[in-house]
Structure 1
Amino acid sequence: MWRKQFLQVWLKEIKDAVRDKRAMKLAFLPPVYMVAFFALGIGLAIHFQNTEERNIEITAYGNNPALIAWLRENKITVNPVDADPYPKVEKGEVDYALILDSPSKSANPRQPRSATLVYNASNQNVHGPVGQVRQLLYQYNGTQAALNVLARGLSPKLINPLSIREANVATDQQMGGLILSGVPLLLLMCAMMGSMGFAADMTAGERERRSLEALLINPVSAPTLIAGKWAAALLLTLAVVLLCLLLLAVALYFLPFNQIGLRVAVGPGALFGVFMALMPVACIAGSLQLMLGILSRSFKDAQTYMGFLIILPMVPFFIMMTNPGLYQGWHLWVPMLGQQTVLKGLLLGEAPPFWAYLAFWLSAIPVTALALWGAARQMRRAKIIYG
């Protein structure tokens, strides 16, 4: 009997949700907006990076033909000026400039010369070009030092006793995953927000319309009633998550990551792993939203209280951002934090251990059951029904 009652409640809530066009738009449009803004931001970042790499111009004051020729050989456009550009950089008329020391004719031609790189560090747009110019200046300095030592019949190894090399063992997929650091937060927020409007309407909305009392008159137990509402909210949340994943896969397929030397290939296997990792989050979200909706006095109050649930996926995101190398096995047993770790690994092309998904479910089931039990207990209170 309880199975039939559960099915009837579930079908009733699904029909009500589908009929509410406004709630459907509020549920399925946010993933579209978030993925669109994400794709736009990544596309603009790639465009700006390509533009900065192709057209780097620097204002130079002074005379150092060898250094200017070195910069021009490395595709840096040097614009000589006759006046000191330091005041212009301070006023913001010039983003960055290079001031070269010009010794007199009577000075020793081998005398060390200086080069001052002037820029405003508070301007975020100058860090990329200034970093490339700074690297070229260091390379030029090392090359000239080696030539001066070699001209005296000495080995250049005297000024560089330690030869430093770097070996990057990261694959193109792992390097490309670094640019997707915000995607786990986007997916977790979709899982938390998917059924927010529906859960509020199933609980506080029915109280406000005075239809909850008529529903409780039927011979249906409170746990069965709450379970049916939760199953409907879960189905709608998974539909929102699936839409978000499909849109994200399309965006990642068409974004030109190859223009900046990166490769992002999130295949069907990784998407399936992401979906399986988000299912426990959807279960927790639906149960918490129903409990908050039952305790709310009105539909507006329910939406306000449920809005605080968005903070839950943000906490592990900032933990991983501030401590990217922090990882321990017990993280997988913490809801949201374990999903954040696994989603990041899937985007980097890494396969998580199978027991990680088991840990997600074992940690989500108690939270979900406790929230549903609390909501079902409140359903029979006269204060909740009649306000």
Structure 2
Amino acid sequence: MNVLFAIIWKELKDALRDRRTLMTALFSSLLGVPLLLLIFSTVLSQVESQEEKRVVLAVGMQYAPQLENFILRQGYQIKTAPVDYEAKSRSKEIDQPVLIVPPDFENKLGSGIKVNLEIAYDTSNRTAEFGVRPLRRLLDSYTQELTLMGLTMRGISAELLQLVEVKEHYLQKPEERKTSVTEMLPMMVLMAIVIGGMYSAIDTTAGERERGSLEPLMMNPVSGWQLAVGKWSAVALVGMGVAILTIASFFPSQWMIRNDTLRAEFQFSLKDACGFLVVLLPLAASVAAMQIAVALDCKSYKEAQVRNQIVSMFIPFVSLIPIMFPGREPAWFQWIPVLAQNQMMNQVLKGESLNTLAVTIALLVCVGITGVSLAYIAQKMRKVVMN
């Protein structure tokens, strides 16, 4: 037992001395979530600012006095768009879509002929694109008013066209809304765990082999299992530490949210943090074992890094699987690593309680992956050095 603890302590010190491992672990765990929430809040603020901006940029508004009157009555201001609005939209000098009114607008409207209004914006100008929806909503209201006025002048009740009124009834719980803008957070946490422990796993295998320090370690009277468990324990502790730091970063991240709506909806509590830890710590341990197993056969640090990066690509691909099942999620999701954890973290963010069976299944799968990986590492450890 003393030998095992000595190996763990030695590997853990080596991992913490490696600047690349330490910096990657700290940056991935402490900066990932705050930056993501900052981006979310900035984009949401841009959308809301366009919703609240009561200014319409227009070309040819003099051809539509009725439309101009309607827009002004809604509390909007009308500004004439610059002549070179297309170029300025591409260069993002203007941050709104431009309403284009044709010269024959009023004549066609008076004759009962269908007339087209155009909304011009550059698709690369995201801020201007955010303003398209409120402008369309304003124009739809104008069209509806014109229709009602036309029916009234002909003595037809507008209610005849509205015998059925459809309303939406949201079944979603109020606390579930916060996941609509933070659904990428679970994947960010999973990526932080994988990347945070990857360099430690590579350094303790291919790195030591490349430096020639693995052979002297083998000269000690230790078994393959002791080496495997010792190295895995150190890497697993690094991965778990990254998981804990990442979850802890959720709390100060809430202060960085610049949007009031998102700040009110995203309330990450201590209970949520405990739920995340229950889900993520077993996964971090199993990921550490897999990373060591993948890097063990590699003869160089770069080769091990490439192989582990390929394994890391598994996470975003697995996270996309639910898109193929837009209805109820199949029961077998609970048996797929990463996918099960992603599903349970989303449940925590929605304010739901974790399913005991789902947590147990995920734990058993992680234990199974860890056991198989450690058996492979213990078997290959001495063979690798001899080759």
Coarse TM-score class (shorter-chain normalised)? 0.7 to 0.9
Secondary structure of the residue aligned to 1:252 is: helix
Q: Distance in 1 between matches of 2:117 and 2:205?
A: 67
Following superposition, the deviation at residue 120 of structure 1 comes to 4.3
Query: Does the 8 A contact of 2:20 with 2:199 survive in 1?
Result: no
Q: State the AA in 2 paired with 1:119.
A: A
Superposed CA deviations along residues 41-86 of structure 1, whole A, max 9, x for unmatched, are: 12321332233223343214143333223323445432247x9x7x
Aligned to 2:23: 25
Of 272, 286, 289, which residue of structure 2 is paired with 1:287? Answer: 289
Provide the C-alpha distance between the structure 1 equivalents of 2:263 and 2:198, rounded to a whole number of angstroms: 40
The 5 A counterparts of 1:178-189 are: 178-189=180-191
Partner Cα separation in structure 1 for residue 279 and residue 199 of structure 2: 23
Aligned to 2:119: 118
Query: C-alpha distance in 1, partners of 2:255/2:223?
Result: 48
CA, structure 1 residues 74+175, in 2 after alignment: closer, same or farther (shift >3 Å)? farther
CA shift, 1:321, in A, is 4.9
**Match of residue 143 from structure 2:** 141
The alpha carbon displacement at 1:314 in A equals: 0.6
Q: TM-score, normalised by structure 1?
A: 0.87
Q: Which residue of 2 aligns with 1:9?
A: 7
Q: Which residue of 2 aligns with 1:249?
A: 251
Matches of 2:115 and 2:57, distance apart in 1: 17
- Report the CA distance shift for 1:109/1:306 in structure 2 as closer, same or farther (over 3 A): closer
Residue number in structure 1 paired with 2:60: 61
Distance 2:263 2:243 in 1: 30
Q: Does 1:302 align with 2:304?
A: yes
- 3-state secondary structure, aligned to 1:349: coil
State yes or no: 1:235 paired with 2:234. Answer: no
User: In the superposition, relative to structure 1, how do residues 320 and 76 fare at CA in structure 2: closer, same or farther (>3 Å)?
Assistant: farther
- Compute the displacement of 1:154 (Å): 3.0
- State the SS of the aligned residue for 2:57: strand
Q: Does 1:71 align with 2:67?
A: no
Tell me by how many angstroms 1:237 deviates: 0.8
The 3-state SS of whatever aligns with 1:168 is: coil
TM-score, normalising length: structure 2: 0.87
How far does residue 386 in structure 1 lie from its aligned partner after superposition? 4.0
Q: Is the 8 Å Cα contact of residues 45 and 259 (structure 2) preserved in structure 1?
A: no
C-alpha separation in 1, matches of 2:262 and 2:238:
38
Is 233-242 or 248-257 further displaced after alignment? 248-257
Q: CA deviation at 1:150?
A: 3.1
Task: Pick from 362, 366, 369 the counterpart of residue 368 of structure 2.
Answer: 366
Letter in 2 for 1:26: T
Alignment of 1:258-269 (within 5 A): 258-259=260-261, 263-269=265-271
Measured after TM superposition, the shift of residue 254 of structure 1 is 3.9
Structure 1 residue 248: Cα displacement: 2.3
Corresponding position: 1:155 with 2:157: yes
Going from structure 1 to structure 2, the CA distance change for 1:92 and 1:18 (only over 3 Å counts) comes to: closer
- Contact 2:47/2:131 (8 A) holds in 1: no
SS in 1 for 2:344: helix
Q: Distance in 2 between matches of 1:119 and 1:68?
A: 18
1:240 Cα deviation after fit: 0.9
SS in 2 for 1:9: helix
Name the structure 1 match of 2:330. Answer: 328
1:49 equivalent to 2:47? Answer yes
CA contact (8 A) 1:172 1:262 kept: no
Per-residue deviation, residues 291-338 of structure 1 (Å, max 9, x unmatched): 122111022222221112211211122223565545112101110111
Could you tell which deviates more after superposition, 117-126 or 194-203? 117-126
Determine if the alignment matches structure 1 residue 39 to structure 2 residue 40: no
1:378 Cα deviation from its structure 2 partner: 0.7
Inter-partner Cα distance in structure 2 for 1:61 and 1:323 = 48
Residues 1:47 and 1:323: Cα distance change in structure 2 (over 3 Å): same
Q: Which has the higher contact order (CA 8 A, sep 6+)?
A: 2
Which of 215, 220, 223 in structure 2 is aligned with 1:213? 215
Please report the RMSD computed on the Cα atoms of aligned residues, expressed in angstroms.
2.8
Unaligned runs of 5+ in 1: none
Equivalent-residue separation in structure 2 for 1:232 and 1:246 (angstroms): 21
Matched residue of 1:78: which SS? strand
Unpaired segments ≥5 residues, structure 2: none
Structure 1 residues 5 and 289 mapped into 2: Cα distance closer, same or farther (>3 Å)?
same
Q: Offset at 1:158?
A: 1.8
Once residues 256 and 322 of structure 1 are traced to their aligned partners in structure 2, the CA distance between those partners, rounded to angstroms, is 34
The AA in structure 1 aligned to 2:58 is T
Classify 1:183/1:211 alpha carbon distance in 2 versus 1 (closer, same or farther; 3 Å). same
Structure 2 match to 1:380: 382
Q: 1:319 to 1:74 in 2, by over 3 A?
A: farther
Distance 1:124 1:201, change over 3 A: same
Structure 2 residue corresponding to 1:337, chosen from 339, 351, 354: 339
